[in-house]
Chains A and B, each alone.
Chain A
Amino acid sequence: MTDSASGKKRGLGRDLRRLGLFVGKRLLALFVTVLAGVYLTILIANMGGQVDELRLVQIKTAAAEMVRADPAFHDLPSAEREALMASQVQLEVERLRLDEPFIWRSFDYLYRAMVLDLGRAEEMHSDTGSRRVYNIIVERLPATILLFGTANLLVFFVSVYAALKLSRRYGSALDRTVIGLAPTSAAPAWFYGIFLILLLAFIVPLFPTGGMVEVPPPENPWAYAASVLKHLALPVTAMFVAQIFISIYSWRTFFLIHASEDYVEMARAKGLPDRLIEQRYILRPAMSPIITSFLLMLIGLWGGAIILEQVFNWPGLGTLLFQAIGHRDTPVIIGSVVIFAYLLAATVFLLDFIYAALDPRVRIEGGGR
């Protein structure tokens, strides 16, 4: 008895060690992945250092402009004015540390990005006037989460539910209709958005054409919520229409493949009720892919869709990123990408454990047997 107890303990210790090793390896791999992804983004966002040269030219013209425009300097001899300009430029260069080689600064960028010290924006600022990248991003986050969260959750749950029902009624008219409609998802949401705006905002003006809330925003919180809801209707519909059929189609196929497994046939032969078969024999083994796609969808909604937000003039992260790129505001671009990368890595990490919890087959494989 003591033997088996100590054996159990040793077994637990070994399991924990193995788990620790697995977690450590996984974390390291993910960390390196994020590091590489973020560094690549830094290189691209700075055009490999070329943005600095643009910035230098900008600084020079700005300094020259300032000296020329200020009447206090008009009487100065030109040599002194030149010196003044040069010192202005020098100050600005030192402030932005443009005198150091880009490659050094890129590692500095990388370090600060990885510790989530996102720094200050160069051109943009939040609506409250803050220059901190963190504040700018956090301010836009709710808008994106509201829009893409609503739409994606709706698509996800409706499609999984509808697919489960359809896979039981395989070959029916309804099933064939959904399959027939699946190709409509070739067009992205913004495309349907344009048509929805055309139909429901211009020809039949039921909904606003864009924005998130009326201008000026209503004082009453209920009126505010109603206004947001009204503005939300068209973009959510656009996303729903664009994704629902392909989503149902792919889940349906997925469930059909699962439903043709032998153990399902067996359960059916035993005469188990449909509900039980659905829940225990089809849904349960299909759970890990469902969770995967659910989590990846949650990540995806963070990234938002630049164009859908542009078309509906939605003040979310997509619009922010687009503006940041237009302003060549590198810190904002990098900040967005860093957070995106971290979220993705965290999801992948989480998924490994969820798989193991849901699917014993994965656990055995992970154990290295």
Chain B
Amino acid sequence: MSPWREGFKRLRRYPSALAGLLIIVALLAMALYAVLAIPYADAQRLWRGGEIWYDLPVNAAPQWLDRLTGGQAPPTLKVTSRDAAVQSRLFDQVRIQEQTLRVDFYYQQFPSEINLFLAADFTRRQPFVRMLWRTPDGVEIPLGARRIGASERISISQDQALARRLGAPPQIGLFAEPAPPEGLAGGEPGVRQGSYQLVLETVHFEPDTTIEAELVVYGRVHGLAGTDHQRRDLLVALLWGTPVALAFGLLAAVGTTVTTLIIAAVGVWYRGWVDAVIQRLTEVNIILPLLPILVMVGTLYSTSIWLMLGVVVALGIFSAGIKMYRAMLLPIREAPYIEAAQAYGAGSGRIVLRYMVPRILPVLIPTFVTLIPTYVFLEASLAVLGLGDPILPTWGKVLHDAQAQSALYHGFYYWVIGPALLLMLTGLGFAMLGFALDRVFNPRLRNL
């Protein structure tokens, strides 16, 4: 155990190793948090998208990014009937109810979208609702009237008639300052800050029907990571990408290096035709191009991340590393202690696993650590090609979506930078540690 402890003591002298370790520990913590905070099944469900994300804006930038650049972009504002003032008037046949939803809007940019969600409970006759928009200085803009089904979604921002009346898309027109009398002189109108009201006047035809309203004024920024084109919170993918990337990198690296080492040792120990077969298999395997085969497997069979992992490991078993390990193991085979082990009757399996493999394990550790980012990036590469696991959120998939939606062209830089930064950190963390380990454990470098 002492050479290990000595190695770690030496490692402490390298600041890059410590920085790398720090990054890895942070990533591990993030992975642990992701797995605990969002269970696997939830992550899949959330990433499938759809109704779950109805109250998030499309393509919103991270909030901190906007604040950092001194912006005053609005987040998403939600007002429900529960915080509304309700007035009821009873008539002969009908009951008229008036709720006022209040939106305090003190931002410098217009919202991106406005939706009103209505849920009514009734038995026979649908209630009837009239909508009225009241600006801070008391101007009233009618938004139309309609019968309400059990659950209704009214896209105010997509109301063409309203847009024509306002002379601008509703999410701008409803929050704009009154146009100057000289007509359009300055281009974009300014935002009028203040407290807006949406008055819902409902006509109920039954004695105890109710109506639940929820007004969502979608912002332009959201949370820590922003959202994508399907309103999904990118934070889910960024968080869950961590355990997926780490697990894939670690398993692939362990799987390939350990199997390769053991096979190399077996070949060296038995010599003869076993060694020859292993060498030939390695040469065949070197001819096979890894990435195209992975793409083939992904396109033709399935894009499950675990299948990909299996193929990576299977193709990695007879990798070029065998030749290197073989060269290292050949002198060990002739070492006196192997002869001694044989003399007291150790079996071949025991000699390979207990006497030969452990001897070069320390040399393997740096290679193994530097291999991890290679596989993390391999997974991301496959995802960027559109061969990512369809149900799991990963960094590569976020990059792929961004690429497919021309995020850079539209200026949604955050969409690319978030996952890219995390990939970079992972790569740097493991590489920094690996390089330092190499200098500590590699006997040829030690004397330099």
- Chain A residues proximal to chain B, CB less than 8 Å: 29, 32-34, 36-37, 40-41, 44-45, 47, 50-51, 170, 179-180, 182-188, 190-191, 194-195, 197-198, 201-202, 209, 249, 253, 256-257, 260, 303, 305-307, 310-311, 321-322, 325-326, 328, 333, 336-337, 340-341, 344-345, 348
Answer whether A344 and B286 are a contact pair too, CB < 8 Å, given A47-B300, A186-B431, A333-B292.
yes
What's the minimum C-beta distance from A256 to chain B, rounded to whole angstroms? 5
In contact, A306 and B435 (Cβ under 8 angstroms): no
Expressed in whole angstroms, the Cα–Cα distance for A34 and B296 within the complex equals: 19
Choose one: A36, A306, A341, A345; the contact of B291 (CB below 8 Å).
A306
Determine chain A's interface SS by DSSP, over half rule: helix
B93 at the interface (CB under 8 A from A): no
B357 at interface by CB-CB < 8 Å:
no
Judging by beta carbons under 8 Å apart, are A186 and B291 in contact? no
Does the CB pair A44–B435 fall under 8 Å?
no
Contact call A186/B384, Cβ cutoff below 8 A? no
Contact partner of A44 among B293, B370, B373, B430, CB < 8 A?
Answer: B293
Cα of A23 to Cα of B96 in the assembled complex, Å: 99
Q: Does B356 contact A (CB under 8 A)?
A: no
- Pairwise interchain contact A310-B384, C-beta atoms closer than 8 A: yes
Contact indicator A182/B431 (Cβ below 8 Å): yes
Contact A44 B427 (CB under 8 A): no
Q: Is the CB of B377 within 8 A of A336?
A: no
| Cα–Cα, bound, A195→B408 (Å) | 10
What 8 A-B pairs are tightest by C-beta distance, nearest first? Answer: A183-B431, A186-B427, A37-B287, A186-B431, A186-B373, A36-B284, A341-B287, A33-B283
Contacting B292 at CB < 8 Å: which of A186, A187, A337? A337
C-alpha spacing A306/B298, complex, angstroms: 14
Chain A residues with CB under 8 A of B268: none
B288 with A37: CB separation less than 8 A: yes
Number of interchain pairs (Cβ within 8 Å) = 129
Query: B422-448 interface mask toward A, CB cutoff 8 Å, 1 = contact, 0 = none?
Result: 011001101110110000000011011
The answer to the question of B381 belonging to the interface, with a C-beta cut-off of 8 Å to chain A, is yes
Q: B399 touching A194 by the CB < 8 A rule?
A: yes
Please pick, from A191, A260, A325, A326, the residue contacting B447 in the complex, using a CB distance under 8 A: A260
Say whether, besides A310-B384, A328-B299, A184 and B428 are in contact (CB < 8 Å). Answer: yes
| Contacts A191-B420, A306-B385, A310-B385 supplied; 5 other A-B pairs, CB < 8 Å | A183-B20, A209-B408, A322-B295, A325-B300, A337-B289
Q: Are B377 and A188 in contact (CB under 8 A)?
A: yes
Decide if B300 touches A326 in the complex (CB within 8 Å). Answer: no
A198/B416 in contact, CB under 8 A: yes
Provide the residues of chain A in CB contact with B384, threshold 8 Å.
190, 307, 310-311
* B391-426, CB < 8 A from A: 399, 403, 408-409, 411, 413, 416-417, 420, 423-424
B16 within 8 A of A: yes
Do A29 and B280 touch (CB < 8 A)?
A: yes
Indicate whether B374 reaches chain A with its CB closer than 8 angstroms: yes
Query: Once the chains bind, are B413 and A40 in contact (CB under 8 Å)?
Result: no
In the complex, the chain B residue whose C-beta lies closest to that of A37 is B287
Contact, CB under 8 Å: B295 / A187: no
B289 and A340 contacting across the interface, CB-CB below 8 Å: yes
* Given contacts A36-B284, A40-B284, A188-B381, A202 and B292 within 8 Å (CB-CB): no
In the assembled complex, B91 has its CB within 8 A of some CB on chain A: no
Specify the chain A residue showing the minimal Cβ separation from B370.
A186
Interface CB pairs A-B, < 8 A, 25: A33-B287, A36-B284, A37-B284, A47-B301, A183-B20, A183-B432, A186-B427, A187-B373, A188-B381, A191-B424, A194-B416, A194-B420, A195-B420, A257-B444, A260-B447, A306-B295, A306-B385, A307-B291, A307-B381, A325-B295, A337-B288, A337-B292, A340-B287, A344-B287, A348-B283
Q: Is the CB of A321 within 8 A of B292?
A: yes
Is there a chain A Cβ closer than 8 Å to B131's Cβ? no
A-contact bits for B248-291, CB 8 A (1 contact / 0 none): 00000000000000000000000000000000100111111101
Interchain CB contact (< 8 A) of A186 among B296, B374, B408: B374
Chain B contacts of A195 at CB under 8 A? 420
Interface string of B351-367 (1 = CB under 8 A from A): 00000000000000000
Of A186, A191, A209, A253, which one neighbours B430 at CB under 8 angstroms?
A186
In the complex formed, the residue of A with least CB distance to B15 is: A180
Chain A proximity of B412: nearest CB distance (Å) = 11
Tell me the nearest residue of chain B to A303, going by C-beta.
B289
Contacts of A260 in B (CB 8 A): 447-448
Does B143 interact with chain A (Cβ within 8 Å)? no
In the complex, the answer to whether A190 meets B381 with C-beta atoms within 8 Å is: yes
User: How far apart are A55's CB and chain B's nearest CB, in angstroms?
Assistant: 12
- Do residues B297 and A44 form an inter-chain contact, with CB atoms below 8 A? yes
Which residues of B lie under 8 Å from residue A253 when comparing CB positions?
445, 448
A209 contacts which chain B residues (CB < 8 A)?
408-409
Distance in angstroms from A359 CB to nearest chain B CB is 16
Residues of A within 8 A of B16 (CB): 180, 183
Closest residue of chain A to B402 (Cβ to Cβ) is A194
- Which residues on the B side are within 8 Å of A47 (C-beta)? 300-301
Across-interface contacts of B448 in A (CB, < 8 A): 170, 253, 256-257, 260
Q: How far is the CB of B344 from chain A (nearest CB, A)?
A: 35
Nearest CB of chain A from residue B424's CB, rounded to whole Å: 6
Rounded to whole Å, the gap between the CB of A350 and the closest CB of chain B is: 15
Output the residue of B287, B374, B431 with the most chain A CB within 10 A. B287
Q: Are A198 and B428 in contact (CB under 8 A)?
A: no
Alpha-carbon separation in the docked complex, A44 to B408 (Å): 36
Query: What CA separation (Å) do A37 and B283 show in the bound complex?
Result: 9
> Given A47-B300, A180-B16, A257-B444, are A186 and B428 neighbors across the interface (CB < 8 Å)?
yes
Complex Cα–Cα for A253 and B296 (A): 37
Asked if A40 and B296 sit within 8 Å, CB to CB, the answer is no
CA distance A195 to B424 in the complex (A): 11
Question: Which residue of B has the minimal Cβ distance to A45?
Answer: B296
Closest A residue to B297 using CB positions: A44
Question: B399 to chain A: closest CB distance in Å?
Answer: 7
B396 to chain A, nearest CB (A): 10
Q: How far is the CA of A40 from the CA of B411 in the complex (A)?
A: 45
B427 touches A183 (CB 8 A): yes
Cβ A325 vs Cβ B288 within 8 A: no
Cβ B447 vs Cβ A187 within 8 A = no
Minimum Cβ distance to chain A for residue B296 (Å): 5
Q: Is the CB of B408 within 8 A of A202?
A: yes
Q: What is the CA–CA distance of A307 and B413 in the complex, to the nearest angstrom?
A: 20
**Pair B292/A306 contact, Cβ less than 8 Å:** yes
The 8 A CB mask of B292-321 against A (1 = contact, 0 = none) is 110111011100000000000000000000
In Å, the complex CA distance between A53 and B4 comes to 56
Most B Cβ at <10 Å: residue of A37, A187, A188, A303:
A187
A341: chain B residues within 8 A (beta carbon): 287
Interface residue from B280, B413, B424, B432 paired with A187 (Cβ < 8 Å):
B424
Quick one: CB contact mask for B173-192 with A, threshold 8 Å, 1 for yes?
00000000000000000000
Contacts of B435 in A (CB 8 A): 179, 182-183, 249
